[in-house]
Chain A
Amino acid sequence: MSKPNIEVTIEPDGTIVTKVIGGRGWTCRDATKALREALGTTVEDKPLPEFFQQVTTSATIKHGSK
């Protein structure tokens, strides 16, 4: 499986924001783990709505297969 693309923004004050592009679920957090650990301390870590999409879809399929 290919790695998701990542956007890293380094603000003028030195704060870094990472965004995973096109990844879903926990793979997103995994994708930036090494980057986050190498750069410093993660002070905010939040999923966006798409983060939950795969979980919702899986639940629907499971329900429909019964």
Chain B
Amino acid sequence: MSHVAKIEIEIKDLVALVAACRRIGCTLVQGQRTYAWYGHHVGDYPLPEGFKAEDMGHCEHAIRVPGADYEIGVVARRDGKPGYTLLWDFWGGQLARQLGPNGQKLVQAYGIEAAKSVARKQGYAVTETTKPNGAVVLQLRG
């Protein structure tokens, strides 16, 4: 082993996001243009960079989460880069209870599925194991 890189995930691959949703029991509904949320921005938290209050509730696709009334909006990034931003209303705590703080269960699942997809396209054989702390390890063999 001679090199280590640490990466912060960006959502770029919609197919991998569909697989990630399936992996954790959620459903990505392609083409659903609105996502369920409180309904209006009350101004108690800053909006994500590049978004206005009237953008909330609108999306390209939506993710339905079992046990949660609110949904997650999959929205094209507003900073000129390819890929998507995930928007959700965390009021009430239902989404956080299902997906963890900051939706990290969904983000991890996306990372797993996206990494497997890229690796297979590059010709690697992939095996997956899960550590006691919940981290998932992919062994890529060339």
CB within 8 Å of B: which residues of A? 2-25, 28-29, 32, 34-36, 38-51, 53
Instruction: Report the minimal beta-carbon distance from B110 to chain A, rounded to whole angstroms.
Output: 8
Q: How far is the CB of A55 from chain B (nearest CB, A)?
A: 11
Residue of A nearest to B10 (CB): A40
- Please state if B142 and A2 are interface contacts (CB–CB under 8 Å): yes
Please tell me if B108 contacts chain A, counting CB pairs below 8 Å: yes
Known contacts A7-B137, A9-B135, A14-B9, A28 near B3 by CB under 8 Å? yes
* With known contacts A8-B138, A9-B136, A14–B3 Cβ distance under 8 A: no
Which residues of chain B are within 8 angstroms of A10 by Cβ–Cβ distance? 108, 111-112, 115, 135-138
Q: Count of B residues near A, CB < 8 Å?
A: 38
- Report, nearest first, the 9 A-B pairs whose CB atoms are least far apart: A3-B142, A14-B107, A28-B3, A50-B2, A44-B6, A40-B10, A12-B134, A10-B111, A51-B2
Interface SS of chain B: helix, strand, loop or mixed?
Answer: mixed
Encode contact with A along B24-45: 1 for CB under 8 Å, 0 otherwise.
Answer: 0000000000000000000000
Chain A residues contacting B134 (CB-CB under 8 Å) are: 12
Q: Per-position contact with A for B71-95: 1 when CB-CB < 8 Å, else 0? A: 0000000000000000000000000
